[in-house]
Structure 1
Amino acid sequence: MAELCVRSVLVTGANRGIGLGLVQHFLRMPKPPQWIFATCRDPKGQRAQELQNLASKHPNLVIIALEVADPASIKAAAAKVGEHLGGSGLNLLINNAGMLKPKTIDAETLEDMTETYTTNTAGPLLMGQAFLPLLKKAAQGSPGSGLSCSKAAIINVSSSAGSIASTFGWDFRQAVSYRCSKAALNMLSKCQSLVYKEHGILCVALHPGWVQTDMGCSFGDMPPVTPDESVQGMLKVLSSLSEKETGALLDWEGKVVPW
C-alpha cells in the first residue's frame, strides 16, 4: 500500500468530528504535509478550541475562517491559502463540512431543504470552483502521469444515506433533506470527475462510515465506527486511489457504495 504523501491539504469543517480527526492524523504522519489548512466557521470560538491548541504546537497547521454556504467567504479563504502556498498548488481538498436536520418527509420545509443543499451540495461545488486554480497548479507541478491524491484531488465526504439503492437507516431516521443533498453530492462528484480529469485532478465521493460524532449520534443509537477507525480507513483509501476510481462513491474501507 502506497503511503499518502501530500505537500498541502485543506479540510473543511475541521474543528470537530471527522474533520478534526483528519487534521490530527495528518499531523501525526511520518512525513506530514508542509501545509495543513483547517477551516471552520469561527476559528476563535469555543468550538474550535482543540484546533487552536493544535495550531499553537504545529506551525504547519493554519486555521482559516470559512463558511461553505457563503461564496464571498470561500473566495477569501482561497486567496489566503494561495498566499501561504506562494507559487505552489494545493494537492488535496477535502470537502468535509456538512449538516443534518433529522426530520421526516412530512416535516421538511423549503428553508430546511435549501439550507441543507446549500451546505452539503452547493458548498463543495463552490469550493471546487474557487480552489481549481490551486489544484491545477499542484497537478501541473507533480511528476508522472495518471491521477492520485498525492498529485491533486477533490474528496467530497458523502454518505451511504445518499444511496438511492440502499436507503440505509430509513427505519430509524428519515433525514430527507440530508439524504437528498448527499445523493446530489454524489452526482456532483461524478460531474467534477468528468470535467476536472483533463486538468489532472482526481474526484471521489467518500462515505466515512456511521461514525461516533455529534452528527452520527444524532440518529439515536451508538454508531459502530469510531472517528479514529474512520479516519485511518479513509486515509488508507486515499493513498490507493487512481484514475480508475475517479468519479466513484466509495466507503472508508474502499468498497464501492451503490448509487
Structure 2
Amino acid sequence: MDRREIAALLAYIGRLDPRTIRTDQGEARDQLAQWHELLGDVPMATPHGWDARVAARQHIRVSPYPILPADVARPWESYRRDRLGRHTDPTPSVSPDDQAAWTAELVGARRAVAAGTAQPAQYRAITSGRLDPELEARLREIGSCIPPAARAALAPYRPARAAREAAVAQGQPDALGVRCAWCLAQVGEPCRRRWIGPDDGARGTAPRATPHPSRLDLAVAQQAQQTQRTQQVQQVQQVQQVQQSAMA
C-alpha cells in the first residue's frame, strides 16, 4: 500500500474504532509513517480474496485491543502461505535449455500467486469420466498402461508380480487374489518367509517370489467355485431363453 492507501485504511479504521484517531497533526503524521513502513508491501486488496479493510474490521470486531499494523500483516502472511501451499508449479512455456528464463518464469508465477494477482495452479483431480479415445485404443492394443518391453525390464526387480502376471496369462488361478492362511498376507500382497533365529524365534520376514502352496490351493478352489457359479448362471439363462422362445 502507498501512503494514500494507508491514509484511507486509517480513516476506515478510525470510523470503526475512534481510539485509533490522532487529532494532533504531528501524531497523525507519525502514525501514517509507521503504518506505511510496516505495511508498505501489503496490498490494499487483490482480485482473489484479500482485502486489508476486511482484516482490520475482523480484528476490531473480535478483539478488545486497539488495532496495530501487525493485526493486518499477520492475516496477509497467512493468506500468502495458504495460496503458495495450494500452488503447483506449472510447466514453463520457455525452453528448458534456457535455465535463466525457466527459473524466472517459475519465480514470476509464484510471486503472482503469493501477491494475490493470480490463482494457484493445481493438479486436476482424477475423475471417472471417459478416457481419451487415443488412450483407449492404445490400452486395447498393448493390454496395459505399462508397455510389454518395460514390463519385461521390471520383472527381475519384482519377481512376485512377474510370477503372478505369468500365471494369469497362462490361465492359472491368481494366488495373490486370496488371503494366505499360512503367512497371513493380505489380498494383493506377496507371501513372506520368516527368518528363524537360533532360539526358534522369528527374526524378520522377507517377500517370497512364489506363493505358499496352501495359498495356491485356495486360489484353485476359489477359481473352480467361480467357474461353477458362472456355468450355473449360463445354464439358467439358457433355460430362460428357451422358455421365452417357447412362449413366443
Q: Please give the TM-score of this superposition, normalised by the length of structure 1.
A: 0.20
Structure with greater proportional helix content? 2
Larger RCO, structures 1/2 (Cα 8 Å, 6+ apart): 1
Q: Please give the TM-score of this superposition, normalised by the length of structure 2.
A: 0.21
Structure with greater proportional strand content? 1
